[in-house]
């Protein structure tokens, strides 16, 4: 684990440099540990594949003080309660009007649409991070046969509910937004509801299975 300054009001804690279940578990445990401290000096924590970013309030503390304070409590790291991951089943309409990049993915992977669907829906994915926009789950890892590069020029508008893939990841656009992932399907499940907590359907560590409909 490596601690570094991140901009002026951030701390970057690096747990590894590869995407793996092992690194993910470390990130996840540390994230829940940081949360459990309920420090008012910490404004936000952003856990992802290999790092945790802490956004701290620099009027209340500084980098060295905050680190010392957190490390002092690290003895509790293995003792804290970590929520059991929730399993989600997400219905997806694959291809056609819902998956504008299905054709590209087929030709890139050298597979038929049915095979793409079978492979994509045949794996249980882990949510490695939630973000960029509210409720967007970064999930992995994809079967190697489905690895595709991002679009060279991202779309200015990806429809809400779009299911995309990029390299080792798959994700769901929780809102209409710009995006560069290859879109292979669409779900009508709501991933983020600002009207009630917990606003996001998914959180780090959750397990996801796609079901073709």
Partner 1 sequence: MMEIVNPAWLSMVVDGGRYGHADIGVPPSPALDRYAYTALCRLLGYAAGIAAIEVIGNDFSLKVDRDLSCAITGARVTAFAGSMPVAPWKVFMAKAGSTIRVKEAIEGLRYYIGFSGIIDVAKVAGSCTTNLECRFGGYFGRPFLKGDRIALKDVRDAGERAIDESLIPSMKAPHILRIIDGEERDRFSPETLKSLFEKGGDPWYKVTTKTNRTGIRLEGRPLEFRKGTEQSIISEGILPGVVQVPGGGQPIIVLYERTIGGYARIGHVIKADRDLLAHLKPLDKVRFQRITRGEAERLWNEKTTQYYNMLP
- Contact set with partner 1 (CB under 8 A): 5-10, 12, 17, 19, 31, 35, 43-53, 55, 129-136, 138, 174-178, 192, 194, 198-200, 203-204
Residues 54 and 3: their CA atoms lie apart, in Å, by: 10
Instruction: List C-alpha distances in Å: 8 to 13, 149, 197.
Output: 15, 33, 31
Q: Which is nearer to partner 1, 13 or 102 (CB)?
A: 13
- Rounded least distance, CB 157 to partner 1, Å: 11
Element (H, E) at 71: helix 63-72
Residues 128 and 110: their CA atoms lie apart, in Å, by: 28
Token look-up 């038929």 returns 112
- Rounded least distance, CB 7 to partner 1, Å: 4
- Rounded least distance, CB 196 to partner 1, Å: 10
Q: Which is nearer to partner 1, 42 or 105 (CB)?
A: 42
- Rounded least distance, CB 167 to partner 1, Å: 9
Q: Which is nearer to partner 1, 92 or 130 (CB)?
A: 130
Annotate 161-182 with three-state secondary structure: CEEEEECCEEEECCCCEEECCE
């Amino acid at each position: 684990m490596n601690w570094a300054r991140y901009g002026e009001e951030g701390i970057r804690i690096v747990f590894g440099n590869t995407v793996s279940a092992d690194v993910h578990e470390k990130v996840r445990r540390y994230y829940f540990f940081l949360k459990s401290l309920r420090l008012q000096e910490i404004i936000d924590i952003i856990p992802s594949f290999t790092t945790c970013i802490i956004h701290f309030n620099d009027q209340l503390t500084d980098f060295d003080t905050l680190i010392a304070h957190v490390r002092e409590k690290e003895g509790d790291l293995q003792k804290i309660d970590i929520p059991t991951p929730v399993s989600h089943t997400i219905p997806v309409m694959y291809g056609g009007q819902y998956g504008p990049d299905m054709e590209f993915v087929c030709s890139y992977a050298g597979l038929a649409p049915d095979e793409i669907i079978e492979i994509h829906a045949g794996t249980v994915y882990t949510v490695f991070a939630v973000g960029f926009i509210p409720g967007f789950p970064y999930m992995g890892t994809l079967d190697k046969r489905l690895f595709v590069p991002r679009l060279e020029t991202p779309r200015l508008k990806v429809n809400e509910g779009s299911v995309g893939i990029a390299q080792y990841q798959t994700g769901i656009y929780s809102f209409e937004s710009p995006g560069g992932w290859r879109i292979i399907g669409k779900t009508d499940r709501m991933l983020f509801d600002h009207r009630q907590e917990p606003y996001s359907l998914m959180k780090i560590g959750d397990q996801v299975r796609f079901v073709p409909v």
